[in-house]
Structure 1
Amino acid sequence: MNLAGKAVVVTGAGRGLGAAYARLAAAEGASVIVNDVDAAAAEAVVADIRAAGGAAEPAVASIADWAGAGSVVQACVDAFGAIDGLVNNAGIFRLANPVEQDPDEFRAVLEVNVLGTAYCGLHAIRAMLARGTGSIVNVTSGSHAGSAAMGAYGASKGAVASLTYCWAADLAGTGVRVNAVSPNAHTRMADAYDSYLGAAAQGQNVAKSPAQNAPAVVYLLSDASADLHGQIVRIDGDELSMVAHPTVQGHGAQNPAWTASAVAAAFASGSVGPISPVGLHRTA
């Protein structure tokens, strides 16, 4: 019972990855707030948790709204007396080539994935700091390193990664931790990706279940991960790994008076350092 006695909010928990996180957190002893904009979906997950002997309550609200996000965190405090953990899972997914990108869809993705994560986190941080303890788990994606047709989604998940790093710096030494996961599973999002890209998608998520991602999230919520802060944990089927922070490669080229031609020469000589490929890749 890694989470015994803890009160946890999971956003976007009506189905898919969020539902898997909520179910396992409850099975590991947490009291869980199941948030979703779909009341029936949230209540179905709550019913499943209760049927298995766990404690859960629904919280139906849009976390893209400041007050809505606050109501979800407050629901946890009201129902269970505190908030010990937050899984910022809620998100939406839209695919588009840049020349076909609908600006309203782009905005919607950023409002839910970035502002929703930020709003829930800000409310939770304030409640957690008052008690000097808590764990926030944000959800990012390998698409933030570059993926076709994912300009809006990838940008939103890049923002979530940066938010994780910044909050980790803000909260160092407070007892409140912030980490992130980069999951991979066969969900409705994966189906949309496969449908849009066809053969180019390569069906990479087909055999990967949401449940495979949940143990890492439970670990990050638990006291067992007390030494982890500001990290991104990647789950890809049967593989568990770490995603590196953005880093300056090598020592770079030196010049007290750069000109455009000098910059060109530095790149031509390779002295600026290696050029990174687009997309998530593995270091040696």
Structure 2
Amino acid sequence: MPGVLAGKAVVITGAGRGLGEAYARLAAAEGASVVVNDVDSAAAASVAGAIGALADDSDIATWTGAGRLIDNCRRAYGRVDGLVNNAGLFRLADPREQDPEEFRRVLEVNLLGTAYCGLHAIRAMLEQGGAGSVVNVTSGSQSGAAALAAYGASKGGVASLTWCWAADLAGTEVRVNAVSPNAHTRMADAFERHLGARARGQNVGKPPASNAPAVVYLLSEAAAGISGRIVRVDGDELSLVQPPRTAVAVRLPEWTVAAVAEAFAGDLRQQP
């Protein structure tokens, strides 16, 4: 039986190991022609060789590198039908010790890299006939997590990017969704080492492969019509992450510091 991605050309960034490798392996198993991108060229070549894919070591944190990646897919397979923006840097730091250059680099790879690859891919998809699927990768840290300001901020930006692009592309056949995965990877190990008991073992025992079916589903025609969704995978739980919304509104009789203080002492204090 043909797989759900038969005949499709799919680019997966950061696919040399971990979650990205899991996505690439399942996409290939489901019939896709895959471009395995990773700045670690040896890792990219190893995964690509194992699944019969094309290896690519473009630096997606630059506009030129992201464009090169999408062009390589089009040259090899004639088109690009899917993009998984998985590449990311994970850095932990207390704000009192945060290296500003490290903060900048996390945003360059995680947020700008996602934006650059997405922009190139969306334009190619519209140009070649107007259909395709972009799957971004966010994180539960976008809602706040200790020592993860740079990473969480970058992933919060990716979530907003997902919702905005879905709105931009409404009425077309190009879909933009995201996944928020949870798995025991090198990132999880670093998180556990840094926070110890505060990490609560939340990634332990959750294999990267358990996150891949949701990604492949979003890439496939089975998800036609689904756009602007962030899918959370956590062990055996599948859920949707909603955009931020106003929790409660308090009407003030006048705008004074005292009136705001009274609101926080009353109704607003009751909010979680």
Give TM-score scaled by structure 1 length.
0.92
- SS of the counterpart of 1:100? coil
For 2:165, which of 164, 167, 188 is the aligned residue?
167
Match of 2:186 in 1: 188
Match of 2:216 in 1: 218
Q: Per-residue displacement from partner, 1:82-141 (whole Å, max 9, x unpaired)?
A: 100000000010000000101111011000001100000000010011121010000000
- SS of the counterpart of 1:99? coil
Q: Return the offset for 1:268.
A: 2.2
For 1:16, which of 15, 18, 40 is the aligned residue?
18
Q: Which amino acid aligns with 1:207?
A: G
Seen in structure 2, the aligned counterparts of structure 1 residues 184 and 259 have a Cα distance that, compared at 3 Å, is same
Match of 2:72 in 1: 75
Q: Return the offset for 1:12.
A: 0.3
- Distance of 2:146 and 2:139 partners within structure 1: 13
Match of 1:53 in 2: none
- Distance of 2:132 and 2:254 partners within structure 1: 48
Match of 2:113 in 1: 116
Alignment of 1:89-128 (within 5 A): 89-128=86-125
- Distance of 1:254 and 1:157 partners within structure 2: 33
Q: Return the offset for 1:203.
A: 2.1
Asked if 1:263 is matched to 2:265, the reply is no
Q: Return the offset for 1:256.
A: 6.2
Q: Which amino acid aligns with 2:66?
A: A
Gaps of 5+ in 2: none
- Distance of 1:144 and 1:257 partners within structure 2: 34
- Distance of 1:110 and 1:99 partners within structure 2: 19
- Distance of 2:201 and 2:269 partners within structure 1: 34
Aligned residues: 269
Q: Return the offset for 1:174.
A: 1.3
- Indicate conservation of the 8 Å contact 1:249/1:273, yes or no: no
- Indicate conservation of the 8 Å contact 1:249/1:274, yes or no: no
- SS of the counterpart of 1:98? coil
Match of 2:205 in 1: 207
- SS of the counterpart of 1:118? helix
For 2:176, which of 155, 175, 178 is the aligned residue?
178
Match of 2:149 in 1: 151
Q: Return the offset for 1:269.
A: 2.4
Identity rate of aligned residues, in percent? Answer: 68
Match of 1:281 in 2: none
Give TM-score scaled by structure 2 length.
0.96
- Distance of 2:192 and 2:224 partners within structure 1: 37
Q: Per-residue displacement from partner, 1:199-256 (whole Å, max 9, x unpaired)?
A: 2212221200000000000000011111211110000111111111111124x12236
Q: Return the offset for 1:187.
A: 0.6
Deviates more, 1:191-200 or 1:5-14: 191-200
For 1:47, which of 38, 46, 49 is the aligned residue?
49
- Distance of 1:74 and 1:15 partners within structure 2: 23
Match of 1:142 in 2: 140
For 2:9, which of 7, 10, 21 is the aligned residue?
7
Match of 1:85 in 2: 82
Cα-Cα RMSD? 1.2
Q: Return the offset for 1:64.
A: 0.2
Seen in structure 2, the aligned counterparts of structure 1 residues 273 and 31 have a Cα distance that, compared at 3 Å, is farther
Match of 1:66 in 2: 63
Asked if 1:229 is matched to 2:227, the reply is yes
- Distance of 1:199 and 1:111 partners within structure 2: 30
- SS of the counterpart of 2:6? coil
Q: Return the offset for 1:274.
A: 5.2
Match of 2:29 in 1: 27
Q: Return the offset for 1:157.
A: 0.4
Q: Return the offset for 1:275.
A: 2.5
- Indicate conservation of the 8 Å contact 1:180/1:233, yes or no: yes
